[in-house]
Amino acid sequence: MSGAGTFLGMPAFPHNAAAAVQDSQLRFNLRKATHTIRGKRAAVVGELPDWAELRRAGKEIKDHTLRHLDRYLLQLEEAVTAAGGHVHWASDAKEANRIVADLVKATGETSVVKVKSMATQEIGLNEALQEEGITAYETDLAELIVQLGDDWPSHILVPAIHRNRAEIREIFQEKMAEWGRAAPEELTDEPRALAEAARLHLRERFLSTKVAVSGANFMIAETGTLVVLESEGNGRMCLTLPETLISVVGVEKLLPTWRDLEVFLQLLPRSSTGERMNPYTSTWTGATEGQEFHLVLLDNGRTDVLADEVGRQALRCIRCSACLNVCPVYERAGGHAYGSVYPGPIGAILTPQLRGTASAIDASLPYASSLCGACFEACPVAIDIPEVLVHLRGKVRHARAERLGMRAAGWIFDRPSRLARVQRLGGRLRRFVPGRLPGPLSAWTDTREIPDIPAESFRDWWNRTDGGAR
């Protein structure tokens, strides 16, 4: 994976998806997990009579914050600094990685523990730290499985969703000893046993590591407070035990006030894990209890996204993964096919905007959807993902041929005489029309049949028969 979060050398989404759908075990794992989470979400969302109002409030708060992002970011910086913290600004992945590496090296330490963070995955922080001689240890259970298995995350909420219990047991037995405390020799694939093996492995790391790296679900501008929601408690260990805490957070994670947080503490747990509230909510403001705190505010393409009037709604995302769990494409293709740490429908609109569409994988992502709209209905902040997908399709490089085709069609349909001449020409040449289009157009006819061109157009038939009277 590169520093920009790109899985290097990956072909386009259709190629990746075609391989993934042949993996029956992967499809079984995905279907079981997504349907379970989807069912839990539906149950707890259905309990709230004001869910639509909460959803609207979340959208409006995010839109307001993005419109005034410059003012709220400066307010946040002032509040964090006043509370004893240090704020750093990173324009891209390279700058953010350099800042974090320098901060860690300044402590004299050669290892860090990490709270689950998609922003640090996006910038390839673990790999960048490794190049500087610093080892990053993941502490979220699913992220630990991915790291030990030398794997890639495939889901926003459950990065190891593509693994089953037997595979996890095998990974623990084979790889845990290389990273610290070994797994028990008699380890079974029972969830309780796997969790206990991870707990013992991680506890030694928590007690011996003096630097932690985190992200944040939200930042509160008025107080400088950061908020992390989690289910395991490992995040809280990282946030409280180390002597130095470094948080890398995308600039879009901002909320103006504590009162705004109340809305999202209802939206996020229900939409992500299907819970009324998450087991652990950790908040901290600046440097607490003698801990040194650094906040790295990450842009990495976000201001470019903000400049796009249609695409900017992707920055409302609160990383709940509800769109993945209802997406028929994700359920069959899995997360790895998207070639990014942001898989599924939200990844299909966020990744091309953050990275551009120069590569084959990024140019193909706006097409990784059936446009069924299930993602929009599930999104707790009302991101119209289908709208953004169509918008992005008009921007990718091979859309030029589509624009030329539509321009030619417009010219033909502009005059009845032109249309009539083209229809007659088509009727005369119809026996030469292939059943399958050539070259890059062949994908269209692989799953569709070209309609037969009639020997006579409706217009000519009407004129010849006087509207069917003769």
Q: Is the pLDDT of residue 423 over 70?
A: yes
Q: Please report which residue ranges of 108-211 form alpha helices under DSSP H.
A: 118-122, 125-131, 141-148, 165-179, 191-208
Residue 444 CB-density burial (10 A; 0-12 exposed, 13-18 middle, 19+ buried): exposed
Name the 3-class secondary structure at 7: coil
Q: Is the pLDDT of residue 272 over 70?
A: yes
> Do residues 95 and 242 share a domain?
yes
Predicted pLDDT at 355: 93
> Do residues 264 and 152 share a domain?
yes
**Which CATH number characterizes residue 293's domain?**
3.40.50.10420
Predicted pLDDT at 400: 62
Predicted pLDDT at 2: 42
Most confident residue range from 214-223, 228-237, 394-403, 407-416 = 214-223
> Do residues 100 and 211 share a domain?
yes
Of the candidates 401, 301, 310, which has an alpha carbon nearest to the alpha carbon of residue 357?
A: 301
Q: In sequence order, which residues have a C-beta less than 8 Å from that of residue 228 and are 6 or more positions away?
A: 115, 214, 215, 216, 217, 235, 236, 239, 280, 281, 282, 283
Predicted pLDDT at 6: 47
- Look at residue 322 and tell me if it is in a domain: no
Dist. CA 276–CA 231, nearest whole Å: 12
- Look at residue 230 and tell me if it is in a domain: yes
Q: Are 322 and 378 in contact (CB under 8 A)?
A: yes
Q: Is the pLDDT of residue 4 over 60?
A: no
- Look at residue 429 and tell me if it is in a domain: yes
Q: In sequence order, which residues have a C-beta less than 8 Å from that of residue 378 and are 6 or more positions away?
A: 41, 271, 322, 323, 325, 326
CA angle 73, 265, 300 (to 5 degrees): 35
* Per-residue tokens: 302: 């976000």
Beta strands in 133-279 (DSSP E): 135-138, 211-214, 218-220, 225-230, 244-250, 254-255
Q: What does DSSP assign to residue 252?
A: G
> Do residues 280 and 429 share a domain?
no
> Do residues 296 and 404 share a domain?
no
Structure confidence at residue 170 as a pLDDT band (50, 70, 90): very high
Domains: count for the chain: 2
Last residue of a domain, one of 270, 300, 330: 300
What does the pLDDT average to over 61-86?
A: 98
Dist. CA 424–CA 421, nearest whole Å: 5
What does the pLDDT average to over 225-241?
A: 92
Amino acid at 401: A
Dist. CA 241–CA 263, nearest whole Å: 30
Q: What does DSSP assign to residue 251?
A: G
Q: Residues of the chain with pLDDT > 70: what percent?
A: 95
289-326 burial string, b = 16+ CB within 10 Å, else e? eebbbbbbbbbbbbeebbebeebbbbbbbbbbbbbbbb
What does the pLDDT average to over 214-230?
A: 97
Amino acid at 184: P
- Look at residue 350 and tell me if it is in a domain: no
Last residue of a domain, one of 255, 278, 300: 300
> Do residues 264 and 123 share a domain?
yes
- Summary mean pLDDT of the chain: 91
Question: pTM value?
Answer: 0.85
- Look at residue 109 and tell me if it is in a domain: yes
Q: Are 42 and 273 in contact (CB under 8 A)?
A: no
Structure confidence at residue 397 as a pLDDT band (50, 70, 90): low
Structure confidence at residue 3 as a pLDDT band (50, 70, 90): very low
Dist. CA 166–CA 163, nearest whole Å: 8
Dist. CA 321–CA 382, nearest whole Å: 13
> Do residues 106 and 236 share a domain?
yes
Of the candidates 361, 369, 371, which has an alpha carbon nearest to the alpha carbon of residue 396?
A: 361
Q: For residue range 332-385, what is the model confidence (pLDDT) as tens digits?
A: 999 999 999 999 999 999 999 999 988 889 999 999 999 999 999 999 999 999
Of the candidates 212, 3, 229, which has an alpha carbon nearest to the alpha carbon of residue 96?
A: 3
Last residue of a domain, one of 254, 273, 300: 300
Predicted pLDDT at 1: 46
Amino acid at 221: A
> Do residues 269 and 409 share a domain?
no
- Look at residue 351 and tell me if it is in a domain: no
Q: Is the pLDDT of residue 122 over 60?
A: yes
Predicted pLDDT at 438: 74
Q: Is the pLDDT of residue 296 over 70?
A: yes
> Do residues 227 and 97 share a domain?
yes
- Look at residue 192 and tell me if it is in a domain: yes
**Domain range enclosing 430:** 400-468
Name the 3-class secondary structure at 212: strand
- Look at residue 60 and tell me if it is in a domain: yes
Q: Residues of the chain with pLDDT > 90: what percent?
A: 73
Predicted pLDDT at 401: 65
